[in-house]
C-alpha cells in the first residue's frame, strides 16, 4: 500500500480585534477523492491522519467490504485542488473479484461533506436502509452502564484526544471493550469520520469491534447509529445530546445511546 504524508494541522495568520497580527495552528481539512478500481465513488472532507483507517472504515460502513482482507491494494497520493492553493488526496482501492462485482452492481455517485454523511443520496430508502437488531446480546441496563464507565467517560476522552487538547476544533472517538479497556482512538474534523477511523483501525488489526462501546465528543446523529449498527457496537456514549432520529434508530437496533452532560448525571436515551 502507498500512503501520502499530509500534516494534520496548519499554521495560518489572523488579526485580533485590536488590529494585531498573529499566527495560530488550526486543524487541517482535506478532501479525499475515493475511487474503487478507478471508478469514482465519493469525495469526503477529513483531517488527514489515519487516512488508511478512515478509508477502510468508510468502505465497511458503506457495506462495500466486510473485512480488511477484501482489499487487495490501497494507494493514496497528493493532488493539487483546482482553483484554490491547497492540497487534496486521491485514494484508489482495489477489491477482490467478488466484492468488485458487487460494488459495480450497487454503485452510485455521492458527495460527502464534513457535517452530513448522507448528502447526495437519491432517496430515503437509500439513506435509511433496514437496520437489523444487534445480534447475541441485549442493551445494557442503566445500572450495568453506570458500573462500567459512565462516570469516567468524559475523563477518558480528555485523556486520549491528543489533537483536541492541543488544537481544538476536532471530534474524538474512543472505543472501549466490555471491560472498559481502550481498544483504539481516533480524531477527525467530522464526527462520522472519527467513528469510521476507529472502526477501520480495528478491521486493519483483525480485531473485533462487536459489543464494544464508543465514546464520542459530538452529538449522536442518525448516521452514527447506522455505522454503530453495521459494526455491531453495543453502545454510543456522547458528550453532547442525541437527535430524536438517532434515539429512535438506536432503540430499533438495540444499541445504547447515552449523553454525558458536563454537570448533570448521565442520561440513557436507549
Residues annotated catalytic, as ranges: 116
Query: Would you give the DSSP letter of residue 117?
Result: S
User: DSSP characters for 1-37?
Assistant: -B-----SEEEEEEE-TTS-EEEEEEE--EEEEEEET
Residue 110: phi and psi, rounded to 5, are: -150, 155
What is the distance between the alpha carbons of residues 182 and 177, in angstroms, rounded to a whole number? 7
Nearest to 191, CA basis, from 165, 222, 162: 222
Nearest to 65, CA basis, from 20, 33, 109, 96: 96
What is the distance between the alpha carbons of residues 205 and 212, in angstroms, rounded to a whole number? 15
- The helix-helix angle for 191-204 and 51-61 (nearest 10°) equals 100
Q: Which residue has the cell 471493550?
A: 177
What is the distance between the alpha carbons of residues 196 and 59, in angstroms, rounded to a whole number? 9
CA 195 to chain centre: 2
What is the distance between the alpha carbons of residues 194 and 215, in angstroms, rounded to a whole number? 11
- What cell does 160 get? 486520549
What is the distance between the alpha carbons of residues 29 and 10, in angstroms, rounded to a whole number? 9
Amino acid at each position: 500500500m502507498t500512503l501520502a504524508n499530509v500534516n494534520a494541522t496548519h499554521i495560518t495568520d489572523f488579526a485580533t480585534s485590536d488590529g494585531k497580527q498573529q499566527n495560530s495552528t488550526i486543524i487541517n481539512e482535506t478532501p479525499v477523492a475515493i475511487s474503487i478500481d478507478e471508478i469514482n465513488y465519493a469525495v469526503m472532507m477529513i483531517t488527514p491522519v489515519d487516512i488508511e483507517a478512515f478509508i477502510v472504515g468508510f468502505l465497511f460502513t458503506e457495506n462495500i467490504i466486510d473485512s480488511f482482507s477484501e482489499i487487495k491494494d490501497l494507494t493514496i497520493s497528493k493532488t493539487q485542488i483546482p482553483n484554490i492553493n491547497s492540497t487534496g488526496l486521491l485514494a484508489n482501492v482495489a477489491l477482490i473479484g467478488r466484492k468488485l462485482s458487487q460494488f459495480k452492481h450497487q454503485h452510485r455517485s455521492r458527495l460527502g461533506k464534513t457535517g452530513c454523511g448522507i448528502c447526495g443520496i437519491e432517496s430515503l430508502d437509500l439513506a435509511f436502509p433496514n437496520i437489523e437488531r444487534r445480534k447475541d446480546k441485549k442493551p445494557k441496563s442503566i445500572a450495568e452502564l453506570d458500573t462500567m464507565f459512565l462516570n469516567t467517560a468524559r475523563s477518558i476522552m480528555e485523556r486520549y484526544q491528543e489533537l483536541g487538547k492541543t488544537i481544538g476544533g476536532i471530534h474524538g472517538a474512543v472505543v472501549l471493550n466490555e471491560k472498559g479497556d481502550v481498544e483504539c482512538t481516533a480524531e477527525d474534523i467530522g464526527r462520522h469520520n472519527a467513528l469510521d477511523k476507529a472502526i477501520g483501525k480495528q478491521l486493519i488489526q483483525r480485531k473485533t469491534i462487536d459489543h464494544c462501546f464508543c465514546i464520542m465528543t459530538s452529538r449522536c446523529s442518525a448516521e452514527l447509529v447506522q455505522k454503530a449498527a453495521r459494526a455491531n457496537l453495543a453502545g454510543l456514549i456522547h458528550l453532547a445530546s442525541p437527535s430524536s432520529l438517532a434515539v429512535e434508530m438506536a432503540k430499533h437496533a438495540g444499541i445504547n445511546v447515552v449523553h454525558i452532560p458536563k454537570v448533570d448525571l448521565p442520561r440513557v436515551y436507549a
